[in-house]
């Protein structure tokens, strides 16, 4: 009864039923009565995870390695326990960002990166191709097995002529269906309600079919689970399948669990049904247990069927991957075999349809369109009917992907069991996991890190899984796998760097995750994020913190009052009211503040606002009041950019104000200094007047005495006149000093700088002061001038003035009895050092600084008779500073004082000295 036409007819009828369901689903969606707004449908659609790999391949794997197939289903169970935190977060982020695929998701998180989106798309296409080819292979194999009923003949596709290969026609039909389901029209949200409905239906079909076969085998052929396992145990050879043994098997168990935990989210088709097609995130709650339950149910009979197959076909002539069909066929159950075939068909078609649609969306949105839009010549961005181009690209992608899958199965697939091919794809999809985890939990993950991680992981995947599969099919020499490339054993793709003893999948998973995760973390830590990356990172990671408000924002409806208030905020209340009044007049409507804002008044307000704050900002502001979702993240980004420019601007302002502040401080300091100088000047004038008035007063009084008393005796007259002369001299000395100092301070005095011999200068000064010592016999002078003093650079007269000043001071303040003055000159570290020491009254510590200031003399100025002009030391200091030297005093009250000064040696002399020392050293 199972002839080719019958099988084909049933299969086509089944596909037509699918299409009808999809059509109905879309129609209901258009009417707003969604068929899939139901958690059970959602959970069933997620069961697209169970492909023909589950349907046929699990039994095949169970028959060879026992319970080893189970981690593929335990992993998703574990992930779904925490789905409420992990998957719901991804769903929420995707809804906010209008994400249409996993490539979109990753690209969007890492700064809307085109490179990243393209890379993810390429990895997805290359990685998933084997998986699609696996489905095609399963359909064509099951078809040929069923075709030979009642005989059980294994197909040998290698001998099939190209055009007679059912796989090709299956591929084309699948492509057609995917196009019909997925690309009938372009929808902004990329949701395909009809497709989801059909997929959910397929999930029911495959479960029912598998359970039917399982129940028949377990309870029809045998007396329940116990009997099958008892017989298996009795056969001896099958006992080994009861356990998993060895480190490799345990490692494989763990890595398969991890692979499946990730794959349930990051496989493009899973992302599609879980995230993109999700209509209400509350549906996830039921899916959290319903989907794992589905997995449990569809796996319960895997082991019984596997053991039954092994018991029924002990010779090994029947491929374990076809046991689900072969066992009913062997037991002469054509109806059941047909049901099993339809179940397998549903599993495969569901996968192909969703996967190709997901890939087509990715290829179109994240690879082709960005490229096309970048090619300026096409002027695509100016065109209005982009939708038709989008559809064309997607349809072409679907056909291409399915045909590539077919090519893969023709060229490579023959050498692999179903499960192994599927796992290669799992390992490829696993490359998305670090980027996704980084995307939703680590704000610091950068685009460069994600790019590096994905690229590295993908390259390692190619090396450890894809290239060896090419070697198996004979494209590359087999020695590549066995001996490593160029015979380098460390680089053997199945035992990289000596990691041996693992199955290829675990081996590849370990290496790819190490490289991928390592690069993501390492590069992220070393690079920094752009503004858009950072804002996206915050939005992704903190999605729940932000959307608590945003969620409310979505549903809320703005009132006209809100708009009026908003407008008032920016253009003033009076103008806002006037604008609204104008709108009322023009549209002949009455606006109530509590009335809902319709699109007319909204766009009117927006236009008004745009005049004030610019169009983009107005859009955002109105949207915030409308509490509607922001449709275009680009606009938000634009605002953000403007904001960041503002930040830069305000930083500049801050900088400027800081500079101003600094300038103000300087000004204030200068002002203080000016005030001080002014005060000094006042003091100076006051002091000068005082100093000048004292001699003037005595000159004047003595002159008056002389004028008014002409009869004064000669002696007295002589005495008064000499006082007048003395005081006049003192006065002119004082005025000379003042002028001198003023000139020096103003920098206008003339300096005759020359190289001088110190001894000559000192002797000249001594000669000038000889008169003083002639008058004061009680004072002895002792001079010690070092021999061969090098020349100094100074003005001879000025320097003489300094020394004379110091000596005359010493004479003035010397001890009344046995006065001793010592003058010493020597060379001291590049300077000429001169000390003038007396044994006089000394200078108090407090006065030692003061005496170098103008008109400041030691002691009490009011009680003590001034001993000089008070300008000698200040002038000396000015002179020495001019020469580049300085002057200071060391003294103790009552124990004499030592005035010291130093003047730098002339440069040529200093250099000569150094040269001389060098020459000595060389000798």
Partner 1 sequence: MLRPGRTRELLIALFLLGALVFAPPLLLIFNKATRFLGIPALYFYLFAVWAALIALVALAVERRHADDDEAGPEMPSREHGQVTGGPTDA
Question: By CB under 8 A, is residue 225 in contact with partner 1?
Answer: yes
Question: By CB under 8 A, is residue 74 in contact with partner 1?
Answer: yes
Near partner 1 by CB under 8 A: residue from 30, 187, 233, 573: 233
DSSP assignment of 734-761, as one string?
A: HHHHHHHHHHHHHT-S---EEEE-HHHH
Rounded to the nearest 10 degrees, what angle do helices 302-312 and 225-235 cross at?
A: 40
Of 457, 471, 557, nearest to 511 by C-alpha is 457
CB 301 within 8 A of CB 211: yes
288 vs 364, beta carbon nearer partner 1: 288
Question: By CB under 8 A, is residue 80 in contact with partner 1?
Answer: yes
Determine the Cα–Cα distance for residues 727 and 910; give it in Å rounded to an integer: 46
224 vs 611, beta carbon nearer partner 1: 224
Of 432, 102, 76, nearest to 287 by C-alpha is 76
The contacts of residue 241 (CB under 8 Å, 6+ apart) are 62, 63, 65, 66, 67, 232, 306, 307
Q: Which of residues 555-574 bind partner 1 (CB under 8 A)?
A: 555
Near partner 1 by CB under 8 A: residue from 250, 582, 656, 845: 250
DSSP assignment of 518-567, as one string?
A: HHHHHHHHHS---HHHHHHHHHHHTHHHHHHHHHHHHH---BHHHHHHHH
Near partner 1 by CB under 8 A: residue from 4, 150, 220, 224: 224
The distance of closest approach from Cβ of residue 438 to partner 1 in the complex, given in angstroms and rounded to an integer, is 15
Near partner 1 by CB under 8 A: residue from 281, 628, 822, 890: 281
Q: Which residues of 70-82 are buried (b: 16+ CB within 10 A; e: fewer)?
A: bbbbbbbbebbee
215 vs 391, beta carbon nearer partner 1: 215
Q: Which of residues 299-358 bind partner 1 (CB under 8 A)?
A: 300, 303
Q: Which of residues 737-776 bind partner 1 (CB under 8 A)?
A: none
Question: By CB under 8 A, is residue 243 in contact with partner 1?
Answer: yes
Question: By CB under 8 A, is residue 658 in contact with partner 1?
Answer: no
Near partner 1 by CB under 8 A: residue from 67, 221, 327, 363: 67
Residues of the chain by 3-state class (helix, strand, coil), percent to 5: 75, 5, 20
Determine the Cα–Cα distance for residues 108 and 174; give it in Å rounded to an integer: 31
Determine the Cα–Cα distance for residues 11 and 2; give it in Å rounded to an integer: 12
Question: By CB under 8 A, is residue 244 in contact with partner 1?
Answer: yes
299 vs 617, beta carbon nearer partner 1: 299
**Cis peptide upstream of residue 150 (ω within 30 degrees of 0):** yes
Near partner 1 by CB under 8 A: residue from 13, 16, 20, 81: 81
Residue 588 backbone class (left: φ over 0; alpha: ψ -120 to 50; beta: rest): left
Size of the site for partner 1 (CB under 8 A): 49
229 vs 341, beta carbon nearer partner 1: 229
Determine the Cα–Cα distance for residues 310 and 63; give it in Å rounded to an integer: 7
Question: By CB under 8 A, is residue 227 in contact with partner 1?
Answer: yes
Near partner 1 by CB under 8 A: residue from 242, 475, 497, 916: 242
405 vs 438, beta carbon nearer partner 1: 438
Question: By CB under 8 A, is residue 282 in contact with partner 1?
Answer: yes
Near partner 1 by CB under 8 A: residue from 153, 254, 525, 613: 254
Question: How does DSSP classify residue 893?
Answer: T
Q: Which of residues 85-104 bind partner 1 (CB under 8 A)?
A: 85-86, 88-89
Question: By CB under 8 A, is residue 271 in contact with partner 1?
Answer: no
Segment interacting with partner 1, rule: CB under 8 A, options 40-48, 245-253, 630-638, 886-894: 245-253
Segment interacting with partner 1, rule: CB under 8 A, options 52-60, 64-72, 122-130, 449-457: 64-72
Handedness of CA 191, 195, 200, 206 (dihedral sign): negative
245 vs 788, beta carbon nearer partner 1: 245
Cβ neighbours of 261 (radius 10 Å): 22
239 vs 607, beta carbon nearer partner 1: 239
Question: By CB under 8 A, is residue 548 in contact with partner 1?
Answer: yes
Question: By CB under 8 A, is residue 871 in contact with partner 1?
Answer: no
Question: By CB under 8 A, is residue 551 in contact with partner 1?
Answer: yes
DSSP assignment of 311-340, as one string?
A: HH-TTS-S-GGGHHHHHHHHTT-HHHHHHH
Cβ neighbours of 684 (radius 10 Å): 16
Distances (CA, A) of 157 to 103, 168, 409, 410: 35, 11, 10, 8
Residues near partner 1, by CB under 8 A: 67, 70-71, 74, 77-78, 80-82, 84-86, 88-89, 224-227, 229-230, 233, 239-240, 242-245, 250, 253-254, 257, 281-282, 285-286, 288-290, 292-293, 296, 300, 303, 544, 547-548, 551-552, 555
């Amino acid at each position: 009864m199972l002839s080719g036409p019958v099988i084909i007819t049933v299969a086509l009828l089944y596909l037509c039923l699918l299409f009808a369901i999809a059509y109905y689903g879309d129609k209901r969606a258009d009417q707003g009565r969604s068929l899939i707004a139901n958690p059970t449908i959602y959970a069933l659609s997620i069961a697209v995870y169970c492909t023909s790999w589950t349907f046929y391949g699990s039994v095949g794997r169970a028959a060879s390695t026992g319970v080893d197939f189970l981690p593929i289903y335990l992993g998703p169970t574990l992930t779904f326990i925490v789905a409420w935190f992990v998957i719901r977060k991804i769903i929420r982020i995707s809804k906010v960002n209008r994400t249409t695929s996993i490539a979109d998701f990753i690209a969007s998180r890492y700064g809307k990166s085109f490179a990243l989106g393209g890379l993810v798309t390429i990895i997805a296409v290359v990685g998933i191709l084997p998986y699609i080819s696996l489905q095609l292979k399963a359909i064509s194999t099951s078809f040929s097995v069923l075709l030979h009923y009642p005989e059980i003949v294994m197909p040998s596709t290698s001998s099939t002529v190209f055009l007679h290969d059912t796989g090709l026609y299956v591929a084309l039909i699948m492509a057609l269906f995917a196009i019909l389901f997925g690309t009938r029209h372009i929808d902004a949200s990329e949701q395909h309600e009809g497709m989801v409905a059909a997929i959910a239906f397929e999930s029911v079909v495959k479960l029912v079919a598998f359970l039917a076969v399982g129940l028949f085998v377990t309870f029809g052929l045998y007396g329940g689970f116990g009997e099958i396992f008892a017989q298996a145990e009795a056969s001896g050879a099958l006992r080994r399948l009861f356990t998993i043994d060895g480190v490799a098997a345990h490692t494989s168990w763990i890595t398969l669990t991890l692979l499946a935990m990730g794959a349930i989210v990051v496989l493009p088709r899973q992302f599609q049904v879980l995230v993109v097609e999700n209509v209400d995130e509350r549906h996830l709650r039921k899916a959290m247990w319903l989907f794992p339950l589905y997995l449990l149910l569809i796996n319960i009979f895997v082991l019984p069927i596997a053991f039954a197959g092994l018991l029924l076909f002990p010779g090994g002539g029947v491929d374990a991957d076809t046991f689900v069909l072969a066992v009913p066929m062997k037991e002469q159950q054509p109806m059941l075999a047909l049901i099993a075939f339809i179940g397998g068909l549903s599993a495969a078609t569901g996968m192909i349809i969703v996967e190709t649609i997901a890939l087509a969306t990715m290829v179109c949105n994240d690879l082709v369109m960005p490229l096309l839009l970048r090619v300026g010549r096409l002027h695509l961005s100016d065109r209005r009917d982009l939708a038709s181009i989008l559809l064309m690209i997607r349809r072409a992608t679907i056909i291409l992907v399915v045909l590539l899958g077919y090519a893969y199965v023709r060229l490579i697939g023959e050498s692999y069991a179903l499960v192994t091919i599927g796992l290669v794809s799992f390992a490829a999809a696993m490359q998305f996991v670090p980027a996704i985890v980084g995307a939703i939990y680590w704000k610091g993950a950068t685009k460069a890190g994600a790019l590096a991680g994905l690229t590295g992981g993908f390259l390692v995947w190619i090396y450890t899984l894809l290239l060896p599969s090419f070697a198996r099919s004979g494209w590359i020499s087999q020695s590549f796998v066995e001996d490593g490339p160029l015979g380098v054993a460390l680089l053997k793709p199945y035992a990289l760097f000596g990691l041996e003893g693992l199955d290829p999948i675990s081996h590849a998973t370990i290496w790819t995750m190490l490289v991928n995760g390592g690069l993501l973390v390492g590069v992220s830590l070393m690079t920094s994020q752009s503004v858009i990356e950072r804002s996206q990172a915050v939005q992704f990671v903190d999605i729940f913190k932000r959307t608590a408000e945003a969620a409310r924002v979505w549903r809320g409806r703005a009132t006209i009052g809100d708009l009026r208030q908003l407008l008032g905020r920016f253009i003033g209340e009076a103008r806002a009211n006037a604008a609204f009044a104008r709108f009322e007049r023009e549209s002949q409507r009455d606006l109530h503040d509590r009335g809902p804002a319709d699109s007319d008044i909204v766009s009117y307000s927006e236009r008004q606002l745009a005049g004030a704050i610019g169009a983009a900002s107005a859009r955002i502001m109105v949207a915030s009041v409308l509490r509607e979702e922001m449709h275009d993240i680009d606009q938000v980004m634009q605002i953000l950019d403007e904001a960041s420019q503002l930040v830069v601007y305000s930083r500049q302002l801050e900088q400027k104000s800081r500079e101003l502040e600094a300038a103000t401080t300087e000004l204030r300091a200068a002002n203080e200094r000016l005030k001080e100088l002014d005060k000094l000047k006042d003091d100076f004038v006051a002091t000068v007047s005082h100093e000048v008035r004292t001699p003037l007063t005595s000159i004047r009084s003595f002159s008056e005495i002389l004028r008014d008393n002409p009869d004064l005796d000669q002696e007295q007259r002589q005495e008064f006149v000499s006082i007048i002369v003395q005081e006049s001299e003192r006065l002119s000395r004082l005025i000379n000093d003042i002028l001198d100092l003023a000139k020096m301070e103003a920098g206008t005095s003339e300096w005759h700088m020359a190289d001088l011999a110190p001894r000559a200068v000192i002797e000249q000064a001594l000669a000038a002061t000889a008169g003083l010592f002639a008058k004061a016999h009680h004072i002895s002078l002792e001079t010690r001038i070092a021999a061969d003093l090098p020349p100094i650079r100074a003005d001879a007269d000025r320097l003489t003035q300094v020394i004379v000043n110091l000596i005359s001071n010493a004479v003035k303040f010397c001890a009344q009895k046995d006065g001793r003055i010592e003058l010493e000159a020597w060379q001291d570290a590049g300077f000429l050092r001169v000390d003038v020491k007396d044994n006089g009254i000394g200078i108090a510590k407090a006065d030692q600084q003061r005496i170098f200031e103008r008109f400041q003399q030691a002691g009490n100025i009011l009680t003590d008779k001034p001993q000089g002009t008070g300008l000698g030391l200040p002038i000396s200091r000015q002179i020495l500073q001019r020469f580049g030297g300085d002057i200071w005093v060391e003294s103790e009250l009552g124990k004499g004082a030592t005035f010291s000064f130093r003047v730098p040696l002339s440069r040529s002399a200093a250099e000569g000295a150094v040269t001389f020392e060098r020459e000595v050293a060389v000798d």
